C-alpha cells in the first residue's frame, strides 16, 4: 500500500526567510502524481503545487518550488520569502491514475514569525 510520511510535525520560519518541508512516500507504481496542499486555520484546503512523477524537472509556482527525488521517493517543498499568510498546515499527497485515490501525509504545521 502507498504511504506518505511527513517527519516534521511543526516548523517555524522568520518572515522573508526560506523554509523547506519534507515528504517521503512509498509506492511500487511508476506513474503517479505528488501534491502539496495548504490548509489555513478554519479555511479550505488549497493546492500549492503539483508534480508528475514522469517529469524530471521540479515544479515551481512563484515562491513555491519542489525538490523531487524519484529514486529516493522524496518530495520536499521550499517556500521562499515566507509571508505571514503562509502560516498553515501543509499536507503532502500522492495519487495515481489507476485509482484516483489521493492519500495525504500527516501534515506539517508551519508558523511564520514576524
Minimal distance in Å, beta carbon 30 to other proteins? 14
Residues 11-40, interacting with other proteins (CB under 8 A): 33, 35, 37
Find the binder of other proteins among 30, 57, 85, 100 (CB under 8 A): 100
Is 62 a binding residue for other proteins by CB under 8 A? The answer is no
**Cα 73–31–108 angle (5° rounding)?**
40
Query: Which of 27, 72, 77 lies closest to 51 in space, CA to CA?
Result: 77
Report d(CA 94, CA 33) in Å as an integer.
Answer: 6
Query: Which of 28, 20, 13, 24 lies closest to 84 in space, CA to CA?
Result: 13
DSSP state for residue 85 in the 8-state scheme: G
Q: Residues 68-97 vs other proteins: string with x where CB under 8 A?
A: -----------------------x---xxx
Is 55 a binding residue for other proteins by CB under 8 A? The answer is no
Contact residues: other proteins, CB under 8 A: 33, 35, 37, 43-47, 50, 52, 91, 95-97, 99-107
Amino acid at each position: 500500500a502507498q504511504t506518505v510520511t511527513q517527519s516534521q510535525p511543526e516548523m517555524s520560519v522568520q518572515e522573508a526567510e526560506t523554509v523547506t518541508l519534507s515528504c517521503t512516500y512509498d509506492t511500487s507504481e511508476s506513474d503517479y502524481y505528488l501534491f502539496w496542499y495548504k490548509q489555513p486555520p478554519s479555511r479550505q484546503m488549497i493546492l500549492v503545487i503539483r508534480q508528475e512523477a514522469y517529469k524530471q524537472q521540479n515544479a515551481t509556482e512563484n515562491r513555491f518550488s519542489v525538490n523531487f527525488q524519484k529514486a529516493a521517493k522524496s518530495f520536499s517543498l521550499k517556500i521562499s520569502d515566507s509571508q505571514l499568510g503562509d502560516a498553515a498546515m501543509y499536507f503532502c499527497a500522492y495519487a495515481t491514475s489507476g485509482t484516483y485515490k489521493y492519500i495525504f501525509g500527516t501534515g506539517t504545521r508551519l508558523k511564520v514569525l514576524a
